[in-house]
Each structure stands twice: as structure tokens, then as C-alpha cells.
Chains A and B, each alone.
Chain A
Amino acid sequence: MTEMVYGAVPARAGDPILPRWWRTIDKLSMSCILILFGIGMLLGLAASPPLAAKNGFAPFHYVERQAFFGGLALAAMFFTSMMTPSLVRRLAVLGFIVALIAVMLLPVFGTDFGKGAVRWYSLGFAALQPSEFLKPGFVVVAAWMIAASQEINGPPGKMMSFVMAVIIVAFLAMQPDFGQAALVLFAWGIMWFVAGAPMLLLVGMALLVLFAGTIAYNNSDHFARRIDGFLAPDVDPNTQLGYATNAIREGGFLGVGVGEGQVKQSLPDAHTDFIVAVAAEEYGLIMVLCIIALYATVVVRSLVRLMRERDPFIRLAGTGLVCMFGVQAMINMGVAVRMLPAKGMTLPFVSYGGSSLIAGGIAVGMLLAFTRTRPQGEIGDILLRRTR
């Protein structure tokens, strides 16, 4: 009766949110991310004052902004990582739709900030790059569709998600932002691969990419120049790459010392695309190897955890997110050491950039939410196997 009159005493199904979060979260990956963010702040202190001076701001203007956006990003990361996978999926779908519309409206309302590509919305105090938010949203939505297609009598999710990817790539290429477009395509390819793509088709895809690359090389001066620069045995020391290479050499194993580096003076992208060159020059190889190890830890550990995951959606979405994160870091550093042709790509969490930082926080938050330890039905498995 008491219950009928006053309502039931609210009872929790499990233990409280925070303790459960702490118990199930991938603490190692999360620590790596936090350390990376710290390193990013540290490098920003060195790399951004010349740019701030050039643009007429206080020396640590960009560092302050980085700290502000970084705070937002970390908050977003923690908040997202506490959600359940289904809640993440629902919110991500909504976010994806908003971001997609924003990307589509870029040609109308966007600005190019004089950089030749319409990628941003000007918000006055900051610029918003919707394609950064589109990427994690797309990964979740595509994973959802592909996972649904694996149900019996499910929708043709692989085809649907592929069409979606193509549409997004088309819009990104229009900006033009071939880097993001390639990332979107890459993420879809990885998810498709993990979802069980036939090997023959994969080889066909690889050939297609090669073919498309050849066409781009022949038709785009910009693209061809970058490839030529990459293939040339001698790096022209007056290009960004030349400065970056020299900075790495200059740094050696232990670096020239904090604040002693010169490369930040000559590289316009020292605080974004070539931040690793600044790290290599001032702190030496040791710092760079640390950064690489941190990224590798996050990627490999997340993949290992996802291997145990039974829910296809979580597996796919987590894989897509972590691979996108890893490949972005890999490309950024690969360019700096001239293993890959020059392509502007930020180093997640380390490079300066508000949108990329917050979107990165959300993406990593989702990843952490997906890689949380949860019951995988092992007992049921054992019991079922017995019955079979």
C-alpha cells in the first residue's frame, strides 16, 4: 500500500554511474589521451608564439584558446564516455544529421578565411569546421547500418552506408578538403573490411584507388606538385617539408632544448600540421617516440578490446573511430618524416584547432564508451555450447 500511495523507493539497477564508469572504462587509453593533450599544450607554448606575433596577438593567445577548447573537449570526452552505447548511437545519429546539413550548407553560408577552401562557419570568436563533427557521426551511423544488415532480413545497410559515404565525400571534395574526404572513405572501408568484405572486392577497391590517384595526379597541379615533391630524392630545403626534415635532424636524440627551436619561425603550419617537427627539434627523438607510443597504445589497445566485443554495432563503430584516430596521427607524422606525400592533417589532440579538438574529444569519448568492459555473454555462451 505504501508503495502504491507514495511510489516505490527509487532503486538502482546496478552500481552508481561514476563508480561503474571508473570500473569499466579503458583507463590506459584514457590516460594516453590525457597525456597527449598535455603534450599538445606544452608544444603549443613553443610553436604558437611566432604565429601569434605575426597576427598581432599576445604571445600565448593560441595557447589560451587551446586550453579553453581543450577543456571543452575533455568535458565532452568524459561526458560521452559515460553514456551507454545505445544512447551514444542515438545522439550520434542526431549529431550526424545536423553536421551533414551544416556541411551541405557550407557553400552558401561558409567562409574560406582567405585559404582557398570553404570549410568553416565564422562564429565571431571562433571558426567552426562542421566536417570535423561529421566524421565521428558518420562512423557511428555507418556502423549502425552495416550492423543492421547483418541481421536476418535486415536492411541493405552496406550499400546504404556506402552511398552515404560517397555523398559526403562529394561534398567534402567540393570544399575542397580531400584529406577529410579520404578519411571518411577510409573509415567506411575499414568498417566494411571488419564486417566481412570479400577479399576480391577489397583488391578491386585498392586498384580503383590507384586509378583515381593517377587521374588526380594528371589533372590537378596542386596534387601533382605534392606527389613530385614526395618522389624527388632531394628535399627542397625551402619547402615546409624541407624545414620539417631539417628540424628533426637538428633535434637529434635529445633536442636542442626547450624554446630553442628555430623551425617554428619559418613554418606557417608549425602549430598544426607540423607540430611534430617542433617536438622533434626542441625535445628530440625521445619526445617523438613517446608521442608515437601513446598513439599506438590507444589504437592497439582499443582494437584488442574490440576483438572481444560481441555486439556487431559496437565492434564496427569502435573500429571505425579508433582507426580514423590512428590513421590521422600516422599520416600527420608520416608526412613530417617524408614517408607519405604532403597532406595537411592535424595530429589529434596535439595540434592546435578548436573544431578538431572538440570533435576529437567527442570521438574519443564515443570510443571509450564503446570499449568499456561489459558482459559479453560468456556464461551464456558456455551454457549454450553445452546444450548444442
Chain B
Amino acid sequence: MTRTPLRPLPRILSAREHGENPDAIERENLRLRHEEMRDKSRDRAEGRLLVLGIFFLCAFLAVGMRMAVLAASEPSEPRMAAAGAAIVNQRADIVDRNGRILATNLQTFSLYAQPPVMIDKEHAARELVKIFPDLQQDQLIKQFTGNRKFIWIKRRISPEQKQAVHDIGDPGLQFGPREMRLYPNGPVASHVLGGAGFGREGVSSAEVIGIAGVEKQFDRYLRDPANSTAPLQLSLDLTLQAATEEVLAGGMRLMNAKGAAAIMMDIHTGEVLAIASLPDFDPNNRPRPLTQGDQSDSPLFNRAVQGVYELGSTFKIFTAAQALELGLVQPETIIDIKGPLQWGRFTIRDFRDHGTQLSVTDVIAKSSNIGTARIALDIGSDRQKSFLQTLGVTEPLPFEMIEAHTVNPLYPRNWSEISVMTISYGHGVSTSPLHLAGAYASLLNGGTKVTPTLLKQDGPQNGPRVISERTSAQARTMLRKVVTDGSATFGEVPGYHVAGKTGTADKPRTNGGGYYDDRVIATFASIFPAHDPKYVLVVSLDEPVETSGEEPRRTAGWTAVPVAAEIIRRTAPLLGLRPQVEPGPITGVTLTAN
């Protein structure tokens, strides 16, 4: 497009010649140009307005179509569980090694009130108190007449209670489904299972979360919806667990103990088959933690796992085995046990006088503190410490219970010679009974390390070697001698060749230093059968006293050992163990006359 100049020179010149005003030409050109511009912009605007119109038409059409599509689709009910905010239920079951149920879920209901839709609030409160005697009528009325729009009344109610509440007939009393955790065996294996409670709560569902034991340890696994059909299988055997708890409870009562713990473990696989702590509780109705006093007196306290005790003479076999392994002594080596043994300001005595000399086997069998201490002096502190570390009694166990991770064994920071001597017979070092079971298994199964576990295993653990097979066999022989000739003669169970070691430790005073004279922890750590060990059993009684004799007897030989023997007698057949019955005397033909 050629642009015409506003003041074309020829026209200006000719205008000047004719005496006209040249500005008129400029103005005329300006007007023309302006009009041309307006025409152009109007054409463009027309096109663009058309585009706008089509755009709006299409947009409105699209909205209309979309509306039609929506109107034609099916409405969905508003659900509480919207995508992304769902509370996932169906917690996986927990079963024992044979698939028997230890924990499962049960559909129950929660009860809540919506005061704005209630009709007769006082009547409802009165009737509710009749159904749930633990509710307070005044408080209910106060809640119902207050400003609140929503009140939880009961978290879990039974079908009968639900029907009764339903019969009150108030529309403001409403039910929400609740999946709750059920432990059908009641208090059996209560400490292992722990318990479950409600986490986030909605009206139509609530999250079930583990609050202790394996429920908490495996909470993530149990809650994973992918595992809802894959139950968590524990190493426990429900039958064994029940039998162990029953015998232990009887023993605890007979021995007047205030608490008891027992652990039955497979010596090769490390699977805990039964683990009991008394007093116990019902995980379906888990008690609250104590608000005052010693938490270790609470039924929630797991003595087998959380209880850290000086386990006494049961440690002597560690000293003897290490000395044998190092070649310092032989089982027949004679040890000087003349007492009392003075070391600095400490005096080490034996419970009974066993003369002046004993072989190493007899030091264990008779449980001589002095003899063990003398052997330990030859071993020295570094070697003793590292051996105990190898056995795993100085560190928290990686046991599959949430409580186990914080259980720190106690031992002297400064491992002096007097510590070496006291630790050799199990004083000055505190561990849990579970630690002891693990150490016994490692030492006596042929000498390979075993870590206790609560999950079912496929085969032996075959851990690193702790001690030679020969030493392990020698230690078993010594422990067998303890039962046949030594301090644990009550532990003999015909046919099952029990071998073990007693331990009686004075309890430390709770307020300040020193030990009680009349309060002991009596422990019997045993394996059976001695010639081909398959199981470890540790029984520990808290403050037992046996009063059938003239004076009260507290030693493990009189308290823990008979209980352990009874447990073995009851459970060995359940374990499928064949008794090795010695052939009786050959009877000849006897003639009897009537």
C-alpha cells in the first residue's frame, strides 16, 4: 500500500500559485487517512468480535453439554471415606505357628449422640444409664443440653447393647460401625500381642492401631491393605503357651512369688515357642499403665523381656565354658575353693561349705562362687567382656516386640577384677530372662549363635560360632550333672534328660545401695534333652519363698526348679519329644500263690 503524503508538493505548489491555503489540503488528506484507518480497524474488529462470539457460544455449549452428561450419570452417595482420606480397615490377623488365631477383627458398633435431633433428652439419658451403668446421668443431660452437636457415648458396644439403645427410640442416638481387635484366647500370650486401640476416628469407621507388643512392632505390616489376607505368623505355639502359663501360674502361687516369667525356645532356630510373664492381663481390655509406684509391678510389665535382673549362678556356665574353650582348665581340673575369698574390701562366700577343693564339673554342680571366681581371674576382664558380648547379653535384643528395643542390660562401666569375679557367678550384671535364654541356646546347641525371634523360621539359624562343639558338649555334661547330682535335683524329669543351672540372686534394694536379705530372684535355665538338645527353658520367679520346711527356703533349687520341671513334664509330650525310658529291671517269672 502506498502511503499518500499529507502535503504532496505538486498540489501545495499549485495551490500556492492559485492563492489557496495549502493547510486545507493537509487537513483533507489527514481526514482521508483517518477514515481509512478507522475502516481498517473496524474491519479487523468485526472479525475479532466474530471470533469472540463464536468462542462464547462454544464455551456455553460446552458447559451445557457437560451439564447434560453429569445430569445423565448416576448420583453417588456422599461417603465418609473419600478417595485419599480413607480410613483403611481389615487389619491382618495374627496366628500362631500352626495357624491358630491369636488376634482377629470383629465388627461392632460405636454409639454417638447428635443432640440437635434428639427428642427427649432426659428420657434418653435415663435409659442410657440403665444400659450402661458406668455412665453418669447428670453428665449426659448436661452434654445433651449443651451447645455440642456431636458426642461420643461409647466407642464399642455389643449387639445386645445396640439393640437396647435402639429400643430407646431416640433419633439422636446413632451407631457407627466399628471394627475392633479381638483376642479370642483372652490373656494367653497377652504380653506378646500387646493390644490395639483406635487412632483416627470417623463416624463410619475408625483406624485400629497397635499400641504394644507385636501389634505395635508390626503395625505397618498389619495395617497394609495388601496383607489383609496374609496373617502375621508368630513362632508361638498356642498350646504350649497356654500350658506354660498355666503351670507357671500354679508354681507362682505355690512358691508365694509375686511374679514369674518363663521362656521356651527352640535351641537351633531361636523361635520362641512360649513366653509368659505373670501377672498378666486381657488384651481385649488392656489396663491403664500405673500412675504411681513401680511400673514393674504393673501387669503390663513383661518380666521375660523387660525385666532386667541379676540372674545369679546361671552365669557360672559361661565362665566354665570359656575357661574350657581357652584351655585354662579341663572338666576334671581341681579348683581351690577355700573360703571366704578376700579381695580388697570384698568377701566372696559360698552358700554352703563344699570343703576346700572341687573339680570344675563339681564347681558348677555344687554352684561354688569361690571356685567360679578363681577360674574367672585366669580369664581376665577383656576376654570375659568380649565373650559375654559374643553371647549377646550386653546389648538390647533385636526381638520382635516393641518393648525389647529399649531393654539395656546393666553391667559395670569399669570392668575391674572384682567385677570379673562377681560377674563370673552372675552378680553385677543384669539382663532379661530372654537374654539368658538366647545365651544358653548359643552356648549349648553346639556352639553357634542364636538370636531369639518371635517369627516362624524355616530352619536353624546357623549363626557364627561362639564356642567349639567339644566345649559345648562338655558344658552340657556339666549342666546335666547339676540336675543329677547338684543343686537342681528336683529338675529331673524321667525320660527327658534335663540339664540346667540354678541361679539365686538377692534383689537389690530399691531405695539406695545394698541387697535385701529375704528377697531373691530364683532362676532355672535349662535345656532338654541333654544329649541332643532341642529346647531351652528359662523359668524365673520373683521373690519366691517355699515354706513347707522348717525354715523358709528361697533358693532356685527349691523354687524355680520344680516349676520348670513341671513345665517340661507337661510340655515335652506336646512338643512331640519321645521320652528315653531306661529299660526297667528284667523281671523273671514270678510265681504267686493265691
Contact = CB atoms under 8 A, between A and B. Distances in A.
Interface string B37-48: 110011011101
A198 B82 CA distance: 48
B70 A337 contact: yes
B67 A246 contact: no
A292 B60 contact: yes
Nearest to A308: B46
Interface in B224-279: none
A262 to B, nearest CB: 10
A333 B30 CA distance: 49
Contacts of A338: 66
A237 B76 contact: yes
Nearest to B85: A236
A52 interface: no
Nearest to B34: A152
A307 B50 CA distance: 8
Interface stretch (A19-27, A29-37, A189-197, A367-375): A189-197
Given A238-B82, A242-B78, A337 B67 contact: yes
B79 interface: yes
Nearest to B54: A300
Given A234-B83, A246-B78, A285 B68 contact: yes
Interface in A327-358: 330, 333-334, 337-339
Interface in B383-428: none
A251 B67 CA distance: 11
Contact of A248 (B48, B60, B71, B82): B71
A244 B135 CA distance: 41
Contact of B67 (A238, A250, A333): A333
Interface string A233-271: 010111000110110111111000000000000000000
A299 interface: yes
Interface in B488-544: none
A304 interface: yes
Contact of B82 (A237, A251, A312, A315): A237
B67 A304 contact: no
B76 A150 contact: no
B74 interface: yes
B24 interface: no
B75 A246 contact: yes
Chain A interface main SS type: helix
Nearest to B80: A238
Q: Which of B33, B60, B64, B72: most chain A CB closer than 10 A?
A: B60
A296 interface: yes
A333 B64 CA distance: 9
A133 to B, nearest CB: 24
A183 to B, nearest CB: 15
Contact of B66 (A232, A243, A299, A337): A337
A330 B56 contact: yes
B71 A249 contact: yes
A243 B71 contact: no
Contact of B63 (A194, A238, A330): A330
Contacts, number: 133
B49 A306 contact: yes
Contacts of A339: 62-63, 66
B342 interface: no
Contacts of A41: none
Contacts of A323: 52, 56
B67 A237 contact: no
B71 A330 contact: no
Contacts of B74: 249
A241 to B, nearest CB: 12
A384 B83 CA distance: 69
A307 B63 contact: no
B464 interface: no
A237 B73 CA distance: 15
B322 to A, nearest CB: 64
B67 A289 contact: yes
B45 A315 contact: yes
A292 B57 CA distance: 10
Given A151-B34, A196-B41, A250-B75, A303 B67 contact: no
A152 B74 CA distance: 61
B521 to A, nearest CB: 58
B78 A194 contact: no
A296 B60 contact: yes
A306 B49 CA distance: 8
A206 to B, nearest CB: 14
A54 B54 CA distance: 43
B60 A150 contact: no
A80 interface: no
B38 A312 contact: yes
B37 A152 contact: yes
A190 B52 contact: yes
B70 A284 contact: no
A237 B50 contact: no
Given A238-B78, A296-B60, A304 B53 contact: yes
B56 A303 contact: yes
A296 B64 CA distance: 11
Given A152-B33, A288-B67, A323-B52, A307 B38 contact: no
Nearest to B6: A152
Interface in B26-40: 30, 33-35, 37-38
B64 A292 contact: yes
B70 A248 contact: yes
B293 interface: no
A248 B67 contact: yes
Contact of A150 (B33, B37, B79): B37
A90 interface: no
A250 B74 CA distance: 7
A369 B73 CA distance: 43
A323 B53 CA distance: 9
A194 B79 contact: no
Contacts of B62: 339
A151 B30 CA distance: 11
Q: Which of A245, A289, A304: most chain B CB closer than 10 A?
A: A289
Contacts of A253: 71-72
Contacts of B34: 151-152
Contacts of A248: 67, 70-71
Interface in A278-294: 280, 284-285, 288-289, 292-293
Contact of A195 (B41, B63, B64): B41
Interface in B319-347: none
A300 B82 contact: no
A319 interface: yes
B84 interface: yes
Nearest to B75: A249
Contacts of A303: 49-50, 52-53, 56
A273 to B, nearest CB: 15
Given A196-B45, A250-B75, 16 more contacts: A150-B37, A194-B52, A232-B83, A237-B82, A242-B78, A252-B72, A289-B64, A289-B67, A292-B67, A299-B60, A303-B49, A307-B45, A319-B49, A319-B52, A326-B60, A333-B63
Interface of A: 150-152, 190, 193-196, 232, 234, 236-238, 242-243, 245-246, 248-253, 280, 284-285, 288-289, 292-293, 295-296, 299-300, 303-304, 306-307, 310, 312, 315, 319, 323, 326, 330, 333-334, 337-339, 384
8 contacts: A152-B33, A194-B48, A232-B83, A289-B64, A293-B60, A307-B45, A312-B38, A339-B63
| Pairs of residues from A and B, 9 with the lowest C-beta to C-beta distance, nearest first | A249-B75, A296-B60, A303-B53, A237-B78, A285-B71, A236-B82, A337-B66, A234-B83, A248-B70
